[in-house]
Amino acid sequence: MPVEALFGISEPGESQVKQVCKGRAVGIDLGTTNSLVAVVQAGQPICLREGKSILLPSVVHYAADGSVVVGQGACELAARFPEDTIASVKRFMGRGPGDAEATRKLTPYRFAPGEAADPMVRFSVAGGARTVTPLEVSAEILRVLKARAEAELGGELDGVVITVPAYFDDGQRQATRDAGRLAGLEVMRLLNEPTAAALAYGLDKQAEGTFAVFDLGGGTFDISVLKLEGGVFEVKSTGGDSALGGDDFDRAIAGRFLQAMGLPGDAGGDPCVAQAVLDTARVAKEALTTASETAVSITLPAGQTWNGRLSRAELDGLVRPVLDRCGPAVRRALRDSGVAADQLSGVILVGGATRMPIVRRFVGELFGAEPLADIDPDEVVALGAAIQADLLASGGRGDVVLMDVVPLSLGLEMMGGVTEKLIHRNTTVPCGAVQTFTTYADNQTGFDLHVVQGERELVADCRSLARFKLGGIPPTTAGMARLKVTFTVDADGILSVAAREENTGQEASIRVKPSYGLTDDEVERMIRDSFDHADDDMGARLLTVERVEADRILGATRAALAGSADLLVEGEREAILAGMVELESAKAGSKHLAIRGAVQSLDEASKEFARRRMNAALDANVRGQALDSVERKVGKP
The single-letter DSSP state of residue 245 is S
**341 near another protein, rule: CB under 8 A:** yes
Q: Of 118-126, 274-282, 375-383, 534-542, which part binds another protein (CB under 8 A)?
A: 534-542
Residue 147 or residue 441: which is nearer to another protein going by CB?
A: 441
**605 near another protein, rule: CB under 8 A:** no
Catalytic-role residue among 193, 222, 378, 455: 193
Catalytic-role residue among 84, 215, 222, 457: 215
Residue 231 or residue 308: which is nearer to another protein going by CB?
A: 231
Rounded CA-CA distance 590/588 in Å is: 7
**509 near another protein, rule: CB under 8 A:** no
Interface pick for another protein out of 65, 535, 566, 570 (rule CB under 8 A): 535
**583 near another protein, rule: CB under 8 A:** no
**186 near another protein, rule: CB under 8 A:** no
Indicate if 193 belongs to the active site: yes
Residue 244 or residue 391: which is nearer to another protein going by CB?
A: 391
Phi, psi angles (nearest 5°) of residue 121: -75, 160
Rounded CA-CA distance 73/67 in Å is: 12
Residues 460-489 close enough to bind another protein by CB under 8 A: 479, 482-483, 488
Phi, psi angles (nearest 5°) of residue 192: -70, 135
Rounded CA-CA distance 26/3 in Å is: 35
Residue 121 or residue 560: which is nearer to another protein going by CB?
A: 560
**401 near another protein, rule: CB under 8 A:** yes
CA-closest candidate to residue 479, choices 415, 422, 434, 562: 415
Residue 279 or residue 631: which is nearer to another protein going by CB?
A: 631
Rounded CA-CA distance 263/306 in Å is: 11
Nearest distance in Å: CB 336, another protein: 12
Q: How far apart are the first and last CA of the chain?
A: 43
**554 near another protein, rule: CB under 8 A:** no
Q: One symbol per residue from 279 to 318: x for binding another protein (CB under 8 A), - otherwise; what is it?
A: ----------------------------------------
Q: What sign has the CA pseudo-torsion 378, 381, 383, 385?
A: negative
Interface pick for another protein out of 1, 129, 151, 232 (rule CB under 8 A): 232
State the CB neighbour count (10 A cutoff) for residue 52: 5
Strands 305-311 and 346-350, sheet pairing = unpaired
β-bridge mates for residue 468, sequence order: 449
Q: Of 120-128, 251-259, 301-309, 436-444, which part binds another protein (CB under 8 A)?
A: 436-444
Rounded CA-CA distance 349/354 in Å is: 6
Strands 56-57 and 221-229, sheet pairing = unpaired
**596 near another protein, rule: CB under 8 A:** yes
The single-letter DSSP state of residue 452 is E
**636 near another protein, rule: CB under 8 A:** yes
Cα 96–102–108 angle (5° rounding)?
A: 90
Q: For residues 496 and 511, is the Cβ–Cβ distance under 8 A?
A: yes
**79 near another protein, rule: CB under 8 A:** no
Q: How far is the CA of 357 from the CAs of 285, 286, 351, 364, 403, in angstroms?
A: 11, 11, 13, 10, 33
Interface pick for another protein out of 43, 113, 230, 269 (rule CB under 8 A): 230
Catalytic-role residue among 50, 84, 90, 603: 90
Indicate if 376 belongs to the active site: no
Cα 381–384–389 angle (5° rounding)?
A: 125
Nearest distance in Å: CB 174, another protein: 20
- What count of Cα atoms within 13 Å lies in the side-chain half-sphere of residue 239? 26
**414 near another protein, rule: CB under 8 A:** yes
Q: Of 126-134, 143-151, 312-320, 547-555, which part binds another protein (CB under 8 A)?
A: 547-555
Q: How far is the CA of 628 from the CAs of 27, 89, 137, 221, 418, in angstroms?
A: 64, 62, 64, 58, 29
Q: One symbol per residue from 361 to 400: x for binding another protein (CB under 8 A), - otherwise; what is it?
A: -----xx-----------------------xxx-xx-xx-
**490 near another protein, rule: CB under 8 A:** yes
- What count of Cα atoms within 13 Å lies in the side-chain half-sphere of residue 95? 24
Interface pick for another protein out of 402, 410, 523, 556 (rule CB under 8 A): 402
State the CB neighbour count (10 A cutoff) for residue 44: 12
Q: For residues 195 and 166, is the Cβ–Cβ distance under 8 A?
A: yes
Interface pick for another protein out of 70, 334, 356, 465 (rule CB under 8 A): 334
Residue 384's contacts (CB-CB under 8 Å, 6 or more residues apart) are 27, 45, 163, 191, 195, 196, 197, 198, 199, 200
What letter represents residue 192's amino acid? Answer: N
Nearest distance in Å: CB 331, another protein: 6
Interface pick for another protein out of 427, 476, 515, 629 (rule CB under 8 A): 427
Classified as helix, coil or strand, 153 is helix
Nearest distance in Å: CB 498, another protein: 13
Indicate if 215 belongs to the active site: yes
**591 near another protein, rule: CB under 8 A:** no
Cα-only R_g, the chain: 29
User: How many residues belong to the site for another protein (CB under 8 A)?
Assistant: 63
Nearest distance in Å: CB 276, another protein: 38
Q: One symbol per residue from 10 to 49: x for binding another protein (CB under 8 A), - otherwise; what is it?
A: -------xx-x-----------------------------
Residue 48 or residue 449: which is nearer to another protein going by CB?
A: 449
**416 near another protein, rule: CB under 8 A:** yes
Element counts in the chain: helices (H) and strands (E): 16, 27
Phi, psi angles (nearest 5°) of residue 339: -115, 135
**556 near another protein, rule: CB under 8 A:** no
Rounded CA-CA distance 142/180 in Å is: 7
Rounded CA-CA distance 573/260 in Å is: 78
Nearest distance in Å: CB 414, another protein: 5
Nearest distance in Å: CB 334, another protein: 7
Question: Burial letters for 593-608: b for 16+ Cβ neighbours within 10 Å, e otherwise?
Answer: ebbeebbeebbebbee
Residues 125-164 close enough to bind another protein by CB under 8 A: none
Q: Of 81-89, 138-146, 299-307, 408-416, which part binds another protein (CB under 8 A)?
A: 408-416
The site for another protein (CB under 8 A) is made up of: 17-18, 20, 188, 229-232, 234, 327, 330-331, 334-335, 338, 340-343, 366-367, 391-393, 395-396, 398-399, 401-403, 414-416, 420, 427-432, 435-438, 440, 479, 482-483, 488, 490-491, 534-535, 538, 545, 548-549, 552, 593, 596, 636-637
* Catalytic residue annotation: 29, 90, 193, 215
